[in-house]
Amino acid sequence: MGKLVFLPFSIGGGLLAGLIGKKLFGLIWGVIDDQEPPQSEHRDVRIGKLALALAIEGALASVIKGFVDHGSRHAFTRLTGSWPGEEAPDSE
């Protein structure tokens, strides 16, 4: 039941993480290059530049999503007293 109640927190957190990631990527790319970041749909783009942009964007998205998700789970726990997920990673 707790996971179902947490679903709106998760969706909202995902949207927030996306907005933060997009803004932060724009700031970081502005330091790297004065042009807009290359996208996969651009025809004339150097592969190395595209790879760098995608790697930075992907890493930022993953880190920010993880931090926002973890933070929203802590906030949910403070509100409800129930942790919406696993307590710790499974041991091998």
Per-residue pLDDT at 1 exceeds 70: no
The tens digit of pLDDT for each residue in 37-58 reads 999 999 999 999 999 999 999 9
| CA 85-88-92 angle, 5° bins | 125
- For residues 41 and 79, give the distance between their C-alpha atoms in angstroms, rounded to a whole number: 44
pLDDT averaged over every residue in the chain: 91
Q: What pLDDT was estimated at residue 34?
A: 94
Averaged pLDDT for residues 67-84 = 91
Alpha-carbon distances of 77 from 5, 14, 80, rounded to whole Å: 11, 18, 5
Per-residue pLDDT at 82 exceeds 90: no
Per-residue pLDDT at 79 exceeds 70: yes
